[in-house]
Structure 1
Amino acid sequence: MAAKDENSNTVLQGIARHINCLGEENRNTRKKALERIHKETLKRDTPLEATDLKVIFREVLPPVLKIFSDPVEKCRELSVNLISSFLKSVPEPEDHLYYIIPVLVARLGQQDIIEPSEEQRLLLIELLKQMVECSGKKMAVYLDDCVTILQRTVIDPYPEVKKESCKCAAFLARSIPEHFHMLSEALIKPLLIAIAHQHSKVRTIVVESIGDVVQYGNGKTVEPVISHLAQRLFDQAPAVRKSVIKVIGTWLLNLPDRYSFFHRLVPLLLTGITDEQPEIAELADSYWHDVGIKYERENEDDLKDKQDFAKEDPKHYPPNVERPNLGCRTLIMRHLSKILPGLMKDITDWVLETRIKSAALLYVLLLNAEEYITQHMEIVLSGSYRACMDEEPKVVHDVQRACELIGYFVSPEVWCKIVLNNLKSSQSYGSLMVTAAVIKGSERQSLKPFLPSICETLTLSDVCHSVQVGVENASVHVQLLSCVSSICTVMKGDIVEIGLPLFTLCLTVLSLSQDEQIKQSAQSSLETIAISHGMSSKQDLYNKYTVEVIQQYNDNYYTWTNHTVERQIFDTLLLESGDVMGDLLPIIIPILVTNLKPDKDPEMRLKFFTLLSKLVLNSGSTLDSRDKFSEHAVTVVKDMIMPNCTWRAGRTAGAIRTTAVSCLWALLQSKVLTKEKMEPIVEGLLTQMITTMEDDNKSTRLIACRVMTRIFGLMGGSLNQDRLHNIYPELLKRLDDSSDEIRIMVSKTFLAYFDCFDKGYDPELYKAHLEDLFRGLLVHLDDPEPKIQDALLVVLKRAGQIHPGMLKQEIESVKHKHRSVKYCEMLLQDIQVQ
């Protein structure tokens, strides 16, 4: 023992001069003194015994600690390193803390930064961390001083100091929890300041430090940090989010007061399950499973009945999803009422990231809640309606998934009342989207009794007859089709009983939508319904349901206007139904007649005539598919077309006349108007067409001339001779028309007109008429336009067959007045041949 003391004394004598030099003014002297002390004590070729080092350290420590405040940074660095090295080497280093801690407090624990060097502050906090690690429980005496230092260094400007301070705080909390809990609150505020640092590594370590400080602190520290940890779940760095999940998971498993904070911590852990990083999601799921298992063990008495008499897993359960354990489900059941209000508020928050996370959390929450959702239907659905109208697709997608779970876990008897009542009152596409999602998740047999009421609600005019414009309108149509798709997917062949309302819904969307893609979706839905009915094509659906749809309008078709939704559906139905219309003429024609009366909305009549024209042009596969349209053709002409050809002021009225006469032309082209059918109405029709030939609109006049041509061709010699004589003056007027196209058309009309003169016609008796007719035609034989002259030459050749001599006489009398006798000569030559 004496030898050992003599050894330490020898070393102390050897470094005595160096220790004295630590007080010199010359910086180099102090620096060299520190280096020599280090070399002659800790770096000797023959290492000293630990007991010798302890004796030496007791003498060296005070003068070296003074160098901690040396103006030279290098000297301060060497002094800290020297102390650190001694603490690693001497036994019972905690015996020297009463010297060191006050110095550290003076350098690091002041309100203002005393130590200007970042690197030096890092060395000092590393020294403190070293002392905490080596002292263990004995550090409790210096806990106040340590907390004072860490309060400052955790918010130090230098990131490395922050990280080491957080690690030191975490180790301190783990080392002396029985004492630490009394002062843990003092570290929370600086840690929460540091948690938002720009470096992700700093944020990660801060989160981990918070985990230990709260774990071994008191219950008051939990509440202030939860919102900050929740914000870190939005962190762009996966490492930060992962550290949050580890902290929350650990708290839920081990925090002494965790039962008081389940409702605050569980949502954070469940949010981790929805993380975009698979590693984080798996970690959170693993923690959640362990939390549930531990909760079961801790509450074994309360859950004994459920464990002993556990029900089988539901047969109707979301596919490819592992069912949470009993503990997890019970935890959610007991805390759902506290979690949902805040969550449903966040799901419509103005911050996009908050809405995305909240929507994803809602799905996980409801998956764990299962049938307990029933008690919270109102709050879940009210928030879901709004969230489904979010602009962010991911939010909408996750809310739809969550609403599907309502269908899986809640009886239709419960959700139908709430969902359908909201649908009736709101008529928003958000309500329709929720309805479609809930139906999609429902079980086939349990849903079946409620299908009639669901379809009845969906087909209400307030729900499906949307007349809004833009995106809102398109969204309503898309969601109506989604409802149809969900019903078809769940019910399959059972939809036969509700085929009519489903057909009506698709037809409504097809009629009202302006989007081609939506219309294609409606056609696809009709195909799906047809397949579910066991039909070969959607045409069979029209054959089955068209009559019933039209009969629904028997009570209101006489009140239709241009904007009436039923009218638009009627239009689409007639255009799409195909050959089934041939059997429905007795109920279709009265509707058309009523809505084409002159006192009806002009724009509506215009659209009805457009519809009628399309149908007539394809009459073989529509109106006349059963060869029965000819029975109604006279009604179409007499009660629909002719009343609308009467002149009325205004552009709309002019457009109606054009469309009406076009429809008549299409009808004549279809050949369903036979000579026998025409006879009772031909007089009135000719009178109307003569008037129409004088219309202001060029197209109307042109089509009227074509109609006249077809009438003459159809009726032939059955027309009264006197009636024929009354018509030619009107035809001659059209040869003066401003349009050459009409003049040429009238020339063709004259050819058909002359064909109406039968063989028994007496030219001498009607000589005066023929003279007027020939003179009028000969005037235009000298027209400036060659094509008009050519057309009139053909007409006069035909006219000359009635009375060649009279025509020759009229030619001779006017030939000298013509600018060119070419056509007169050609005509005379033709007569000579006759």
Structure 2
Amino acid sequence: MAAPGLVEAADPAEAVETAEAAELSRALSRLLPGLETDSKLGRRRALEALRRALEEAGPATDPAAFQGPWARLLLPRLLRCLSDPAEGCRVLAAHLLALGMQRAARPRDALPRLLPALAARLVSPESARRQPPETCEELRLGLVQLLGLAVGLGGAALAPYLDDAVRVLRCTLLDPFAAVRRESCQCAAALARATPDHFHMQSESLIGPLMQTISHQHWKVRVAAIEATGTVIQFGNGKSVDDVLSHFAQRLFDDVPQVRQAVTSVVGGWLLDLRDRYSFFHKLIPLLLSSFKDEMPEVRELATSLWEKVGLQWQKENEDDLKDKLDFASPPPAHYPLHDSRPVLGCRELVSRNLSKILPALCHDISDWVVGTRVKAAQLLPVLLTHAEDHITQHLEVILRTLLQACDDDERAVVSNCVRSAELIGTFVPPEVFLKLMLAMLKKSPSPSKLLVLASAVQGCPREALQPHVKVIAMDLAQTHICQASESDLYLERLLLCVQALVSVCHKDCSECSLQLLEVLVTVMAGSGTTSLSDKAQEAVALLAEVEGISSQDLYRKHMGPLLEQLTASHSDWTVHSPELGQFSVVMFQAGPALGEALQHVIPTLRACLQPARDPQMRLKLFSILSKLLLRAKDTVDSQGQFHNYLETVIKDVLVPNLQWHAGRTAAAIRTAAVSCLWALTSSEVLSAKQIQDMQGTLMSHILTTLEEDSQMTRLISCRIINIFLKTSDDTIDPDKFIKIYPELLKRLDDVSNDVRIAAASALITWLKCIKSTNGKSYYQSSIQYLYKELLVYLDDPESAIQDAVLEVLKEGSTLFPDLLVRETEAVLHKHRSAAYCEQLLQHVQAVPATQ
């Protein structure tokens, strides 16, 4: 006999029960008592028997016949089983409820009892930290799936029970089990679609849980949360857009492309279908356009497709307002960026009309402390500018301030996108407008970022528009307080970029300001701390010369006079740190043969700057420059054969004052530099013998003094210079001065350096040859005898190279007084460790008369 209450009153709608329904009721009634037993095993067996009965009945059972037994007999008992102590029983009950909902003719009739039962199992107590009554994760998943089934089958009939459904979802959206969260997201979206007329009253309560789920560690959960948020807001309260925007923006940085794609899809859908979308255009457009620069092609293509649809839809909706622009469409600017397709009119208008609202937030983000945020904002800016086109002009000051700040960023991606934005300014804004602002900012406080923005804007500007402004730009760049504002490589590199941009855009139009541009390039070469930057500047000089149809040397020749005149105007105040000194050095080395045409500027500057009272370090640098020039004199200072006109000035006013002895290492270094210059001059083959003879009268006494210098290099060069002086002296030298030379050379045979000793020996040979060429050699007999004695000592030197050198000197001198040399040699023969060299000398002396 059935337990009391097993047969309940049928619903009013089921007044007549078919035979099939009656049979099903009898079959189920036989199994239902097992659900009331105290035995867990008995309840489970009863539920399994019910499952088999329902599955065996299968789809053949008429839903109308099934409705009555389901509603009267099964539903209430299965709902009670959802709270059964045995987990297995609860699982089977949930499965049977789902099966029954699918088989019943009117599943919505179950909603009044089903929704409260689900809420009882899934809604946590008041304290959010406590777990829901249902402790089994898989069962919670099954119950949420059951709720989703109820939503799908109940449709709009779910509206009266919306509160219970939302309460359930608020909890399950935060469930620890990822699968429950995913299923809850899908259920929330389905609920929104099923109850569009009532859902907006409850939608806001789901936004908080969804935003907590949007950052879940499982990317599939994040995708589900994003998609659910899109649907919830679409069918709910549009004001919730403000609550989710920051979370959506954060998901654009997600490492998983599917997540970024989901954000793009949802935002694009809102722009197309959201009821209040016009109010949120300025907030949603940046999110969608940010995906234009996504690293995945699929995301970029989706964003582009959606944005075009948005633009076309808005264009159609506002056709009357855009009538003139549609009928008389303006062509794209002639200098429109290559490889970029022009957006449709609706897209351009949307950006232009909302740019003033978008820019403040964008400018803030581009200076954010988070690198990713700065990069994303910098990527978005050129996309917006491409759409805004000439509407940029009214926002130019704000954009420029933003770019100037962002171009100082350490992140390369930020700077590269800002460079692109600056190029677009040059493309769409008339140069007279942007140059007025940029040049004023640059003059006020020069900086690398301002130069970079200027260079980029110039690079993007059409040649015909920029042509009237080329000279103004070049003259401003050449101003001292701009081109010499900093010696940092970064500043100079950006300065070089400005010149390169002007030359590459304007070509021959740069001819009228090539002097100013050359001044800037010389400044870059002078201040650069790296060879690569200097090489780039030289390439820019070559490019500037090329657009004028001349060579680099001819370019220097063209501007040598004004260039040096300007550089040397301040030479009286130069120190080693003066930028003009570095520029002067660059011009000296780069000008080549053109230097020979500007000696009227070069020599007076050298004379003034190389006086002993001037900065010693500067003098050292200038002597280094001068010596290098003199080594290639025919290709530099004497290219026009005019250097001899300034020879006396170089000797008396430059070399002589710096050869005089002064105490200190710096003074010694300057004397070495001066001696090196004299050596370069005398060995350059640009001076005639007569000119060298004139020089030695002035310089010989100073050079003899430098033979005593501590610097080995100075002593060596001095010996070589004396040698050259002697070779060109003939018989013009005064005997009293001439006789004072050999003792100084003789001292050098005791030098610590063998190179100096050999050079001194070579000079002694030349000195002896000079005596042979004179008629009064008897005047030198006593000096020669002394020289023989001293040289014979070195003939026994431990160094064989010195012995060989001294032997050559004695052989050269043997023709003067051979008998005297034989006597002196025989007198010391027994004192030498080896008589070989003495014997060679005696053999030579005996052989010479025979051959003469």
The TM-score, its normalising length taken from structure 2, stands at: 0.93
CA distance in 2, matches of 1:388, 1:339: 20
User: Alignment partner for residue 52 of structure 2, among 15, 39, 62?
Assistant: 39
Deviates more, 1:576-585 or 1:805-814: 805-814
CA contact 1:388–1:396 (8 Å) conserved in 2: yes
CA distance in 1, matches of 2:36, 2:562: 110
Deviation for aligned residue 1:808: 4.0
Indicate the residue corresponding to 2:731 in structure 1: 717
CA contact 1:166–1:205 (8 Å) conserved in 2: yes
CA distance in 2, matches of 1:588, 1:80: 101
Task: Name the amino acid aligned to 2:435.
Answer: C
User: Alignment partner for residue 633 of structure 2, among 619, 634, 651?
Assistant: 619
SS in structure 1 at match of 2:201: coil
Q: Work out whether 1:14 is the aligned partner of 2:27.
A: yes
Indicate the residue corresponding to 2:186 in structure 1: 167
Deviation for aligned residue 1:267: 0.6
Indicate the residue corresponding to 1:695 in structure 2: 709
Q: 1:55 to 1:733 in 2, by over 3 A?
A: same
Q: 1:132 to 1:803 in 2, by over 3 A?
A: same
Q: 1:78 to 1:416 in 2, by over 3 A?
A: same
User: Alignment partner for residue 458 of structure 2, among 439, 443, 446?
Assistant: 439
Alignment of 1:326-725 (within 5 A): 326-465=345-484, 467-468=486-487, 473-535=488-550, 537-725=551-739
Deviation for aligned residue 1:46: 8.9
Deviation for aligned residue 1:247: 1.0
Indicate the residue corresponding to 2:312 in structure 1: 293
Task: Name the amino acid aligned to 2:35.
Answer: L
CA distance in 1, matches of 2:394, 2:16: 84
Deviates more, 1:711-720 or 1:479-488: 479-488
Q: Work out whether 1:126 is the aligned partner of 2:153.
A: no
CA contact 2:554–2:594 (8 Å) conserved in 1: no
> Which structure 2 residue ranges, 5 or more long, are not aligned?
1-13, 126-130
**Percent identity among equivalent residues?**
42
Q: 1:64 to 1:620 in 2, by over 3 A?
A: same
Q: 1:758 to 1:369 in 2, by over 3 A?
A: same
CA distance in 2, matches of 1:777, 1:39: 131
Deviates more, 1:788-797 or 1:595-604: 788-797
CA distance in 2, matches of 1:576, 1:187: 74
CA distance in 2, matches of 1:64, 1:640: 114
SS in structure 2 at match of 1:294: helix
User: Alignment partner for residue 288 of structure 2, among 269, 272, 275?
Assistant: 269
Deviation for aligned residue 1:186: 0.5
Task: Name the amino acid aligned to 1:16.
Answer: S
Aligned length: 829
Indicate the residue corresponding to 2:794 in structure 1: 780
Deviation for aligned residue 1:405: 0.4
CA distance in 2, matches of 1:109, 1:678: 110
Q: Work out whether 1:107 is the aligned partner of 2:107.
A: no
CA distance in 2, matches of 1:239, 1:760: 102
Deviation for aligned residue 1:746: 1.1
SS in structure 1 at match of 2:750: coil
User: Alignment partner for residue 99 of structure 2, among 68, 85, 90?
Assistant: 85
Deviation for aligned residue 1:275: 1.2
Deviation for aligned residue 1:828: 4.1
Q: 1:11 to 1:759 in 2, by over 3 A?
A: closer
Deviation for aligned residue 1:763: 4.2
Indicate the residue corresponding to 1:152 in structure 2: 171
User: Alignment partner for residue 234 of structure 1, among 253, 256, 268?
Assistant: 253
The TM-score, its normalising length taken from structure 1, stands at: 0.95
Task: Name the amino acid aligned to 1:737.
Answer: D
Task: Name the amino acid aligned to 2:816.
Answer: I
Deviation for aligned residue 1:261: 1.6
Q: Deviations over 1:746-799 (max 9, x none)?
A: 111111112222655334445443443333334433434343333223222322
Q: Deviations over 1:42-97 (max 9, x none)?
A: 52279332222111012221112111111222211211121211211212211121
Alignment of 1:793-832 (within 5 A): 793-811=807-825, 818=832, 820-832=834-846
CA contact 1:440–1:486 (8 Å) conserved in 2: yes
CA distance in 1, matches of 2:95, 2:180: 16
SS in structure 2 at match of 1:234: coil
Deviation for aligned residue 1:563: 1.5
Task: Name the amino acid aligned to 2:356.
Answer: S
CA distance in 2, matches of 1:627, 1:114: 107
CA distance in 2, matches of 1:286, 1:760: 102
Indicate the residue corresponding to 2:11 in structure 1: none
CA distance in 1, matches of 2:783, 2:51: 142
Indicate the residue corresponding to 2:9 in structure 1: none
SS in structure 1 at match of 2:193: helix
CA distance in 2, matches of 1:635, 1:673: 15
Indicate the residue corresponding to 2:771 in structure 1: 757
Q: Deviations over 1:402-431 (max 9, x none)?
A: 111000111111111211122223332222
Indicate the residue corresponding to 2:37 in structure 1: 24
CA distance in 2, matches of 1:110, 1:763: 127
Deviates more, 1:354-363 or 1:417-426: 417-426
Deviates more, 1:286-295 or 1:433-442: 286-295
Q: 1:467 to 1:222 in 2, by over 3 A?
A: closer
Task: Name the amino acid aligned to 1:357.
Answer: K
User: Alignment partner for residue 5 of structure 1, among 14, 18, 24?
Assistant: 18
> Which structure 1 residue ranges, 5 or more long, are not aligned?
none
Task: Name the amino acid aligned to 2:632.
Answer: N
CA distance in 1, matches of 2:114, 2:805: 123
Q: 1:45 to 1:155 in 2, by over 3 A?
A: closer
Deviation for aligned residue 1:498: 1.9
Q: 1:561 to 1:149 in 2, by over 3 A?
A: same
Deviation for aligned residue 1:700: 0.7
CA distance in 1, matches of 2:815, 2:97: 137
Q: Deviations over 1:653-705 (max 9, x none)?
A: 22221121111111111122323223444223111011100111111111111
Deviates more, 1:789-798 or 1:558-567: 789-798
Deviates more, 1:110-119 or 1:786-795: 786-795
Deviates more, 1:166-175 or 1:648-657: 648-657
Alignment of 1:158-307 (within 5 A): 158-307=177-326
Divergent runs of 4+, >6 A: none
Q: 1:117 to 1:576 in 2, by over 3 A?
A: same
Q: Considering only aligned residues, what root-mean-square deviation do their CA atoms show, in Å? A: 2.2
CA contact 2:173–2:180 (8 Å) conserved in 1: yes
User: Alignment partner for residue 55 of structure 1, among 68, 71, 75?
Assistant: 68
CA contact 2:292–2:304 (8 Å) conserved in 1: yes
CA contact 2:459–2:501 (8 Å) conserved in 1: yes
Task: Name the amino acid aligned to 1:421.
Answer: A
CA distance in 1, matches of 2:598, 2:575: 23
Task: Name the amino acid aligned to 1:749.
Answer: A
CA distance in 1, matches of 2:295, 2:228: 25
Deviation for aligned residue 1:383: 1.9
